[in-house]
Amino acid sequence: MKRQVNIAEAKATLSALINEVAYGGERILLLSRGKPKAALVGIEDLKRLEGDLIASTRSEVLKKAATLRKKIAFGGRKIRPVEEDLAKIREGV
């Protein structure tokens, strides 16, 4: 469970909170007037979140590309497989 801290307390104890997140693996939810406003997470959590987002976005793009290929594939016209596009995307990164 994430620890919850109001922003005023976070301001007063920011250094300690950062250490808890960085070295203790904590996730801290920052509250403003009792409502979640932001969060403190460690670098590994952030990398994982960003990786999930990138993977999700890439997956959505590939699905849309596949759908478009099906829509425009007519009259025996050959269209490259989605995997070739993904390989080109990876090469460019």
Q: Which pLDDT tens digit goes with each residue over 40-50?
A: 998 888 888 87
Which residues form the domain of 35?
Answer: 3-41
* 2: confidence class by pLDDT, cuts 50, 70, 90: confident
| Domain of residue 37, CATH code | 3.40.1620.10
The pLDDT of residue 19 is: 93
**pLDDT value at residue 35:** 94
Residue 70 CA to residue 21 CA, distance in Å, equals 47
Residue 14 CA, chain-centre distance (Å), reads 24
Question: Cβ distance 37 to 62 under 8 Å?
Answer: no
Residues 6+ apart with CB under 8 A from 36: 29, 30
Q: pTM of the full predicted structure?
A: 0.55
Span 9-39, pLDDT tens digits? 999 999 999 999 999 889 999 999 999 999 9
Which residues on neighbouring strands pair with residue 5, listed in sequence order?
30
| Whether residues 51 and 84 fall in one domain | yes
Residues 35 and 50 grouped into a single domain: no
Same domain membership, residue 66 and residue 82 = yes
Q: Could you give the number of structural domains in the chain?
A: 2
Q: Based on the fold, state whether residues 12 and 36 are members of the same structural domain.
A: yes
Residues 52 and 22 in one domain: no
